[in-house]
Structure 1
């Protein structure tokens, strides 16, 4: 999973408007969103390094947090629930060039046997708990314009 940092942080030549919107974030970032909430967009993907699996997340939006106690990530659907803990207890949001927009990178440990379960699950929600923040993301689904015309 590779992210273009200039796209995550925003361009200095960008004409930002007050009250950054989800649509603006999705348009500004090259990667496909994994989930969306009211004020944040979740970009995520699975990665493996030396036999260890990580679920890497980047939250772009209004979340501005500094944590020394990690975070939890919870995937849910009707018949599936999986909670992951942050790989590192300490992380901090970074401000972007766009006023009111922050970028928060958090990696979560995932066991190999849970990877397949996660890949097969039809997720309804993704929840991130960090400090006093409890963010609930819905799975991002691209609506095909050709389907709307029928």
Structure 2
């Protein structure tokens, strides 16, 4: 091989390797929320999805974004309770994230859909006559994914 072609060949190999590495990084960003092979989306419409999501722990694990952003109020914060934001990995979460229907009935918890558009939705879990209020935010990216929890309970 002539000496002039060696530097060009090396340059082409390095360029190809760089493009391949960048492509691999970009592909890893758009993996399923749980990072597993995945299961089929339980429902395209949000009301049906949330019904199934709240009843099945394995669906909650599969359709939750990791790390999951969780906001919680710090009652010790002065002059009033302030937010603490954490980003939790799957092994740091306690499932079920949303209690199933029978548990909600037993604990007198109410679930309400606050909003549902083509790409975003939220629900609130409350307990009447208490300050218990937890809001769950979902986004749609092929299927609905839990992306944030806001626990405003004190």
TM-score, normalised relative to structure 2: 0.24
1 or 2, which has the higher helix percentage? 2
Q: Which has the bigger relative contact order, CA under 8 A and spacing at least 6?
A: 1
Structure with max Cα Rg: 2
TM-score, normalised relative to structure 1: 0.25
